[in-house]
């Protein structure tokens, strides 16, 4: 007797021989994945005829180009404006828009740069550009790959080296890749790249099936609405009437009743007859449609509100957070797909105009647009930060002025080559000990003590006779969050603190804020920034409020850890029982 070999099953995944899950008996195991093969014509029809297909192609591109970009040449404002004018004359924005549309819809797009480099042979690499005559956007049908870079040691290995530009449909022109700004669709393997004649995949390869399901469900809902409420007549002996010669009379009667029925008229029927409307159940239909909306939005990599043009509602509503996340996604796409061709084109224009400057850049404007109140708050915060930069001689007034108020307001700061902050002090050999006062009477950060100023006649009293010295942490600063570093101030003002400071200044006092944080320049700057953020800019500007790590002469000292000395020293028990007002006793 010959034994048959035992049959074994090899599977990468979970299987259960008892329940047959994960085996050949499991229907799920027959499922296989195959991507949708989209022809050029199918992609063209989807873009052309489907409103959602057009939005999927166009909306991300429109958003990326909506606010534009700036060419920044800090050392030469006039040249910067001239380059931007040339880009506008060439209609760069519109040509990029067309090419990016083609890239999403067809899997690739390109802009042919009509650069005059003195050569009539377009198959040769681009030489020194003398003039850019035109820019032309091309589809994959008009431009296809010719030769490829075949040396794996080259940067462009596997990418097209030359393209074939289709002329009248019969002849082709070879064009070197350096003369073309290329915009690829979805990234594919090198094998698929060659099958697609040098281009990537259309966005519809990933989206078409989901778009089909969504439109089918939406159409089904529309059909359901047509049959939403049916009129039903109940007639005794209907079958007998149909079988008799009175069928014509029945039809005539039904037509008369149908004409009579409305919201304003009654219906006359026999006592043994009945008339009613029967509605088609649609419970759960809105939720089903919403799920398909979310599914299509996920496939399109777009927020629901951006794809469907409406703000979402309900428990699953998405809002500003989704839009901000989407704009971050588009900002990354700008840097990957827009920046390289823009820089290539700008570099050509700069070389035509005397060569590249030492420092230049392309900067995309923020996609998220602030409301007017948000802009006002941002300007105030930036002005406070600029004041700190200027007072600490980090920036010069010219750098702040040109960065903020050039052709438009910007928060990005551009350093001007060779520009030095005004009155910049020499670099110190090293900081003095934090709690020691240098022999010349200056503070540890190199500034004069707060009770004196330096003028033409030497040091003069600056505080006057009416001085209030206030501790910062636990008095002005509520100080609920545990201390981390001198530069981190986590909480807001103690209730009534700023009102007290204002009243003291109104009465003619100078308010000196004393804090150990001011032992370092960074800590002192952090206090000054905190004060400006909470409305003390004017007081600091006219020097009614000062910040120091020293103890000045004052009429009164306010501290959350102090004891008033009345001639009798406290006991050790009284000292140990002392605790700040906002902290529990130990």
Q: What is the pLDDT of residue 450?
A: 44
Q: What is the pLDDT of residue 553?
A: 87
Closest CA to 132 of 341, 355, 348: 348
Instruction: Spell out the alpha helix ranges (H) of 372-507.
Output: 372-391, 397-404, 497-506
Handedness of CA 207, 209, 214, 215 (dihedral sign): positive
Q: What is the pLDDT of residue 455?
A: 31
Give the domains, in start order, of the chain with CATH numbers: 40-205 (no CATH), 206-308 (no CATH), 452-577 (3.40.50)
Q: What is the pLDDT of residue 346?
A: 95
Closest CA to 319 of 302, 305, 330: 305
3-state secondary structure of 70: strand
Pairing mode of beta strands 361-364, 452-455: unpaired
Alpha carbon distance 574, 565 (integer Å): 13
Alpha carbon distance 175, 161 (integer Å): 9
Judge whether 316 and 305 are in contact, CB under 8 Å: no
Per-residue pLDDT of the chain (586 residues; tens, 9 = 90+): 556 655 555 556 677 778 888 787 877 777 777 777 789 999 999 999 999 999 999 999 999 999 999 998 888 888 999 999 999 999 999 999 999 999 999 999 999 999 999 998 999 999 999 999 999 999 999 999 999 999 988 888 889 999 999 876 678 899 999 999 999 998 888 888 888 888 999 999 999 999 999 999 988 888 787 777 677 777 777 777 777 776 677 777 777 777 777 655 667 677 777 777 777 777 788 888 889 999 999 999 999 888 988 755 544 555 677 888 899 999 999 999 999 999 999 999 999 988 889 889 999 998 988 778 888 888 888 888 888 888 888 888 888 888 888 767 778 787 877 777 765 444 444 444 444 434 444 444 444 444 433 333 333 345 677 899 999 999 999 888 888 888 888 888 999 999 999 999 989 899 999 999 898 888 888 898 889 888 888 887 778 899 998 888 888 999 988 888 888 999 988 888 888 887 766 6
3-state secondary structure of 232: strand
Alpha carbon distance 170, 85 (integer Å): 38
DSSP code of residue 344: H
Residue 161 phi/psi, 5° resolution? -90, -40
Alpha carbon distance 416, 318 (integer Å): 43
3-state secondary structure of 76: coil
Judge whether 304 and 323 are in contact, CB under 8 Å: no
Q: At what angle do helices 77-89 and 92-106 cross, to 10 degrees?
A: 50
Half-sphere exposure at residue 3, Cβ-oriented, CA atoms within 13 angstroms: 3
Evaluate if pTM is beyond 0.75.
no
How many CB atoms sit inside 10 A of residue 181's CB?
A: 21
Residue 142, burial from CB neighbour count under 10 angstroms (0-12, 13-18, 19+): middle
Q: What is the pLDDT of residue 134?
A: 94
Alpha carbon distance 543, 558 (integer Å): 19
Residue 454 phi/psi, 5° resolution? -100, 120
Q: What is the pLDDT of residue 452?
A: 39
What is the 3 state secondary structure string of 180-241?
EEEEECECCCHHHHHHCCCCCECCHHHHHHHHHHHHHHHHHHHHHHHCCEEEEEECCCHHHH
- ∠ Cα 369 374 380 (to 5°): 125
Joined tokens for residue 424: 């910049």
Judge whether 191 and 111 are in contact, CB under 8 Å: no
Alpha carbon distance 324, 303 (integer Å): 10
Contacts of 495 (CB under 8 A, 6+ apart): 478
């Amino acid at each position: 007797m010959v034994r048959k070999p035992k049959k074994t099953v090899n599977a990468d995944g979970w299987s259960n021989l008892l329940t047959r899950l994960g085996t050949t008996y499991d229907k799920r195991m027959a499922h296989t994945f195959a991507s949708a093969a989209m022809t050029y014509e199918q992609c063209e029809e989807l873009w052309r005829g489907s409103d959602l297909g057009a939005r999927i192609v166009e909306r991300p591109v429109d958003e990326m180009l909506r606010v534009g970009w700036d060419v920044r040449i800090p050392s030469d404002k006039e040249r910067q404006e001239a380059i931007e004018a040339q880009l506008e004359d060439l209609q760069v924005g519109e040509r990029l828009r067309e090419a990016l549309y083609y890239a999403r819809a067809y899997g690739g797009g390109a802009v042919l740069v009509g650069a005059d480099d003195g050569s009539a042979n377009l198959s040769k690499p681009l030489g020194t550009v003398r003039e850019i005559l035109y820019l032309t956007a091309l589809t994959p049908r008009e431009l296809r790959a010719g030769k490829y870079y075949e040396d794996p040691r080259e940067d462009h290995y596997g990418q097209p080296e030359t393209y074939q530009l289709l002329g009248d449909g019969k002849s082709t022109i070879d064009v070197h890749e350096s003369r073309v700004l290329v915009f690829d669709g979805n990234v594919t393997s090198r094998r698929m790249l060659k099958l697609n004649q040098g281009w990537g995949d259309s966005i519809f390869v990933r989206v078409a099936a989901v778009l089909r399901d969504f439109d089918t469900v939406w159409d089904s809902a529309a059909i359901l609405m047509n049959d939403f409420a049916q009129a039903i007549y109940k007639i005794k002996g209907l079958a007998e009437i149909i079988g008799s010669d009175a069928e014509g009379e029945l039809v005539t009667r039904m037509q008369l009743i149908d004409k009579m029925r409305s919201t304003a008229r009654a219906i006359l029927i026999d006592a043994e007859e009945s008339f009613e409307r029967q509605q088609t159940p649609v419970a759960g239909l809105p939720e089903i449609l919403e799920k398909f909306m979310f599914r299509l939005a996920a496939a399109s990599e777009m927020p629901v509100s951006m794809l469907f043009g409406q703000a979402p509602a309900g428990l699953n509503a998405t809002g500003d957070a989704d839009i901000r996340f989407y704009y971050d996604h588009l900002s990354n796409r700008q840097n990957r797909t827009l920046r390289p061709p823009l820089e290539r084109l700008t570099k050509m224009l700069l070389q035509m105009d005397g060569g590249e400057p030492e420092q230049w850049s392309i900067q995309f404007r923020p996609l998220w647009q602030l409301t007017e109140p948000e802009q006002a708050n941002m300007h105030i915060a930036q002005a406070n930060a600029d004041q700190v930069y200027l007072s600490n001689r980090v920036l010069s007034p010219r750098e702040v002025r040109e960065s903020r108020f050039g052709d438009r307001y910007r928060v990005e700061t551009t350093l001007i080559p060779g520009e030095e902050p005004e009155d910049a002090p020499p670099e110190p050999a090293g900081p003095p000990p934090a709690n020691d006062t240098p022999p010349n009477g200056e503070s540890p950060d190199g500034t004069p003590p707060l009770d004196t100023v330096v003028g033409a006649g030497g040091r003069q009293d600056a505080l006057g006779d009416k001085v209030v010295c206030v501790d910062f942490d636990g008095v002005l600063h509520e100080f609920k969050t545990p201390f981390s570093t001198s530069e981190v101030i986590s909480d807001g003002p103690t209730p009534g603190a700023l009102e007290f400071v204002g009243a003291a200044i109104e009465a003619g006092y100078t308010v000196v804020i004393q804090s150990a944080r001011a032992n370092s320049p960074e800590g002192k700057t952090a206090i000054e920034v905190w004060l400006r953020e909470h409305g003390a800019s004017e007081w600091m500007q006219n020097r009614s409020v000062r910040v120091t790590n020293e103890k000045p002469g004052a009429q009164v000292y306010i501290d959350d850890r102090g004891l008033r000395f009345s001639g009798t020293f406290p006991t050790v028990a009284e000292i140990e029982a002392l605790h700040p007002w906002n902290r529990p006793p130990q």
